[in-house]
């Protein structure tokens, strides 16, 4: 059996050599011959003549302490030493000391001759007639290149004909040959012909990979299985709830005691995410040099990525999307540079908060996948740290809001999903953060939210015949602004004051309510909340940046503007809710009497 991994053992150079060429040099290496074709031919001739000990002896005399294994691939020794030894051993063939040359220029060999030579070398060295050549990563290596497809086709034909059924080639790929690389669409007809050269095809399903992993790598001792079983019985229901995924049609977030024990420290969803993540990275990088799922899991267990080895973690610890990001960080940096840089900016802005950094890594993984909503709930579920831990949702939500509010963090929202922004959008985001806040606009946004909070305007029916509605006004200092229903006889005037001025404002409002002009005015007094201003400011920035870039032709910018308007609408709803909460804690003032809002009803409009 001769094994070749095209990802790690391709020939060095700017171009990718034919598969048969790489395999030929691999056979020479496997047989112990020099990588130089002339030297390898000389070795085979010496070997056939039974003079190998003599060659080794002459090398030892010429270079005391040196061995043939050290000399055969040394470019300096090949040109300086071997020509002399070749002349001494075969004077008729090499009449002069300079007759032997290591250069293969002008020497050509047909593919069928080279395949026959490979078969002969393996049979001579192994003493066996049956040969299996195993070539890994074929799909990504040849997918988008006509010449490599044709060469592999010829190699398969020649092995079948010259091997007479005793020389087989087995090719493996991360996906089936015809779907390994989207760039291969141009060569699909050739790939299907090539596929026909491999009559026996075995597709390894993801479920098979899962089984291989838990049988080979994640097996537990009887004592370990018992301990995990007890943990699951005690915390399994809570764990299911805390790791439940939203709109995850491609991922199975549910699990039984058996599947939990088999895959621990991974949950089924984490395992599926790993497989999809490797697929996404393979499409972006061409798959060359990418590790398999089995190798990644092995690295997690051993702590190869710089993280703590699984064996050193306490029982109950869970692998998360953060674990996957850390293990595949180099691949992510190569394939998705902008996303990797965005995570780096979060690490700079929040150097002392592991939570913020972990959220960034989880968002990055989900954004690369593209088939699972990047919601706060999903991020929190996939970051769940251990079997016994409580829900992370509230702490994750708070941290996400902090990241969204930081203008130097390139995190935004699109269609309700978190997303890291591109370089162009980062510049726009910086511009957004520098927008000057205009008091008149911020006040307008607050007043709009206040108006929506009283929609529809409070109305009551007297004796079933007369409907009485109240208008709505807002007071700031001595200025009173009408917001709705200014023709109504009864007017509700809302005033928010600092907590320190609340009693003074209440006494003033009581005095005003006793006057003739204030007989039909319902005062609604509450303590001001700084969150109102923060939300109104953020809404203004969202609306303003969308207005400034609404005519941009770039679809990415258009989507960003749409996302900003969606965020403004979402924040406006939050602002209305905050206003209602604030007013609910306030007091009504009417005709010399003050009554707490909450004493009348739990709902503001009903009160």
pLDDT at residue number 181: 45
H or E element, residue 2: strand 2-5
Q: 451 and 533, same structural domain?
A: yes
pLDDT in tens, 439-450: 888 899 999 998
Is 73 among the domain residues? yes
Report angle CA 552, 557, 563 to the nearest 5 degrees. Answer: 125
353 Cβ partners below 8 Å, 6+ apart? Answer: 399
The model's confidence at residue 573, banded by pLDDT at 50, 70 and 90, is very high
Tell me, yes or no, whether 176 and 236 share the same domain.
no
Contact indicator for 491, 454 with CB cutoff of 8 Å: no
* Model pLDDT for residues 10-36, shown as the tens digit of each residue: 776 546 788 888 888 899 888 888 888
CA distance 34 to 77: 12
Question: What is the pLDDT at residue 348?
Answer: 92
Distance CA 184, CA 227 (A): 49
Q: Look at residue 427 and tell me if it is in a domain.
A: no
Helix runs in 328-438, H state only = 329-335, 337-349, 354-369, 376-382, 393-405, 423-433
Residue 448 located in a structural domain: yes
State whether 388 and 317 are in the same domain. yes
Q: How many CB atoms lie within 10 A of CB 585?
A: 12
**Of 157, 175, 196, which marks where a domain is finished?**
196
Residue 387 is assigned to a structural domain of this protein: yes
- Torsion angles phi and psi, residue 59, rounded to 5: -65, -40
Whether residue 444 sits in one domain with residue 406: no
316: left (phi over 0), alpha (psi -120 to 50) or beta: left
Among 196, 224, 253, identify where a domain stops. Answer: 196
CB-CB neighbours of 404 under 10 Å = 15
Q: Which structure tokens are listed for 398? A: 């708070």
Q: Which residues of 272-295 are buried (b: 16+ CB within 10 A; e: fewer)?
A: bbbebbbbbbbbebbbeebbebee
Instruction: Tell me the C-alpha distance between 266 and 435, whole Å.
Output: 45
What is the sign, positive or negative, of the torsion defined by CA atoms of 575, 577, 580, 581? negative
Please name which of 78, 126, 142, 388 lies closest in space to residue 242, comparing C-alpha atoms. 388
Whether the Cβ atoms of residue 586 and residue 525 lie closer than 8 Å to each other: yes
| Structural domain contains residue 157 | yes
CA–CA gap between residue 130 and residue 122 (Å, rounded)? 9
> What spatial distance separates the first Cα and last Cα of the chain, rounded to whole Å?
85
Count of other CB atoms within 10 angstroms of residue 570: 14
Q: Are 214 and 264 in contact (CB under 8 A)?
A: no
Confidence class of residue 178 from pLDDT cuts 50, 70 and 90?
very low
Residues 24 and 94 in one domain: yes
pTM over 0.75: no
Q: Would 433 be classed as within a structural domain?
A: no
Instruction: Check whether residue 244 and residue 174 sit in a common domain.
Output: no
CB within 8 A of 440, min separation 6: which ones? none
291 pLDDT above the threshold of 60:
no
Q: How many domains does the chain have?
A: 3
Residue 470 and residue 547 in one domain: yes
Whether 532 is in a domain gets the answer: yes
| Partner residues linked to 524 by β-bridges | 494, 588
**Dihedral over Cα of 285, 291, 292, 298: its sign:** negative
Q: Which domain holds residue 387?
A: 206-420
Per-residue pLDDT, averaged over 127-155, amounts to 80
* Residues 444 and 537 both lie in one domain: yes
φ and ψ of 185, to 5 deg: -60, -35
Q: List, for residues 346-378, the tens digit of each pLDDT value.
A: 999 999 999 999 999 999 999 888 888 889 999
DSSP, residue by residue, 579-595: HHHHHHTSEEEETTEEE
3-state DSSP assignment of residue 40: helix
Give the single-character DSSP code of 178.
G
For residue 595, being part of any structural domain is answered with: yes
Bridge-based pairing state of the strands 466-476 and 411-414: unpaired
Same domain (yes/no): 461, 592: yes
405 and 448 together in one domain: no
pLDDT digits (tens, 9 = 90+) for 193-202: 566 667 676 6
- pLDDT band for position 261 (50/70/90)? confident
- Which own/partner pairs from 24-32 qualify as long-range (CB within 8 Å, at least 24 positions apart)? 24/114, 24/117, 24/118, 26/2, 27/2, 27/118, 27/121, 27/122, 28/121, 30/2, 30/122, 30/125, 31/121, 31/122, 31/124, 31/125, 32/69, 32/125
Among candidate residues 420, 451, 473, the one where a domain is terminated: 420
Q: Note the pLDDT of residue 2.
A: 85
Cα–Cα distance measured from residue 36 to residue 303, given in angstroms and rounded to the nearest whole number = 40
Over the chain, what is the mean pLDDT?
A: 82
% of the chain residues with pLDDT over 90: 11
Q: Tell me: do 549 and 467 sit in the same domain.
A: yes
How confident is residue 224, by pLDDT bands cut at 50, 70 and 90?
A: confident
230 and 361 co-located in one domain: yes
- Cα–Cα distance measured from residue 549 to residue 578, given in angstroms and rounded to the nearest whole number: 30
């Amino acid at each position: 059996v001769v094994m070749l991994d095209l990802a790690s053992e391709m020939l060095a150079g700017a171009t990718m050599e034919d598969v048969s060429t790489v395999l030929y040099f691999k056979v020479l290496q496997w047989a112990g011959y020099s990588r130089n074709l002339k030297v390898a031919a000389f070795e085979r001739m010496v070997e056939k003549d039974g003079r190998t000990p003599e060659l080794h002896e002459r090398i030892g005399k010429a270079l005391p302490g040196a061995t043939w294994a050290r000399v055969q691939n040394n470019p300096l020794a090949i040109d300086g030493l071997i020509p002399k030894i070749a002349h001494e051993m075969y004077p008729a063939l090499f009449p002069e000391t300079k007759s032997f040359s290591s250069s293969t220029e002008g020497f050509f060999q047909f593919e069928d001759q080279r395949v026959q030579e490979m078969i002969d070398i393996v049979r001579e060295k192994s003493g066996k007639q049956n040969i299996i050549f195993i070539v890994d990563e074929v799909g990504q290596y040849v997918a988008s290149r006509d010449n490599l497809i044709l060469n592999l086709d010829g190699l398969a034909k020649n092995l079948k004909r010259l091997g007479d059924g005793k020389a087989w080639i087995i090719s493996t790929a991360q996906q089936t040959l015809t779907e390994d690389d989207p760039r291969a669409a141009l060569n699909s007809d050739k790939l299907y012909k090539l596929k026909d050269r491999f009559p026996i095809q075995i597709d390894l399903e993801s479920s098979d990979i899962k089984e291989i992993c838990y049988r080979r790598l994640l097996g537990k001792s009887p004592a370990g299985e018992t301990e995990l079983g007890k943990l699951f019985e005690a915390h399994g229901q809570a764990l299911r709830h805390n790791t439940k995924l939203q709109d995850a049609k491609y991922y199975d977030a549910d699990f039984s005691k058996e599947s939990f024990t088999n895959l621990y420290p991974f949950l089924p969803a984490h395992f599926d995410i790993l497989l999809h993540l490797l697929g996404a990275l393979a499409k972006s990088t061409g798959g060359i040099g990418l590790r398999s799922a089995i190798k990644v899991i092995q690295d997690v267990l051993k702590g190869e990525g710089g993280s703590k080895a699984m064996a050193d973690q306490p029982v109950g610890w869970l692998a998360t999307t953060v674990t996957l990001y850390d293990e595949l960080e180099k691949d992510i940096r190569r394939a998705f540079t902008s996303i990797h840089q965005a995570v780096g900016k979060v690490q700079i802005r929040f150097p002392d908060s592991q939570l913020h950094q972990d959220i960034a890594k989880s968002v990055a993984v989900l954004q690369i996948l593209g088939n699972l909503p990047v919601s706060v709930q999903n991020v929190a579920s996939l970051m769940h740290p251990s079997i016994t831990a409580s829900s992370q949702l509230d702490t994750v939500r708070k941290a996400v809001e902090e990241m969204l509010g930081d203008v130097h963090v390139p995190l935004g929202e699109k269609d309700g999903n978190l997303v890291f922004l591109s370089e162009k959008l980062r510049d726009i985001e910086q511009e957004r953060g520098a927008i000057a806040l205009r008091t008149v606009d911020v006040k307008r946004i607050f007043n709009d939210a206040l108006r929506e909070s009283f929609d529809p305007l409070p109305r009551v029916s007297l004796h079933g015949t007369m409907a009485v509605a109240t208008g709505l006004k807002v007071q700031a200092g001595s200025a009173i602004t009408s917001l709705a229903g200014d023709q109504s006889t009864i007017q509700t005037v809302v005033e928010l004051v600092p907590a320190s001025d609340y009693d003074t404002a209440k006494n003033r409002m009581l005095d005003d309510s006793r006057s003739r002009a204030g007989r039909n005015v319902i005062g609604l007094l509450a303590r001001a909340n700084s969150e109102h201003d923060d939300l109104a400011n953020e809404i203004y920035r969202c609306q303003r940046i969308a207005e400034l870039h609404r005519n941009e032709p770039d679809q990415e910018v258009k989507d960003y503007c749409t996302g900003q308007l969606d965020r403004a609408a979402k924040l406006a709803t939050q602002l209305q809710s905050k206003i209602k909460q604030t007013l609910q804690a306030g007091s009504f003032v009417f005709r010399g009497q003050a009554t707490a809002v909450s004493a009348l009803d739990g709902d503001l409009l009903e009160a």
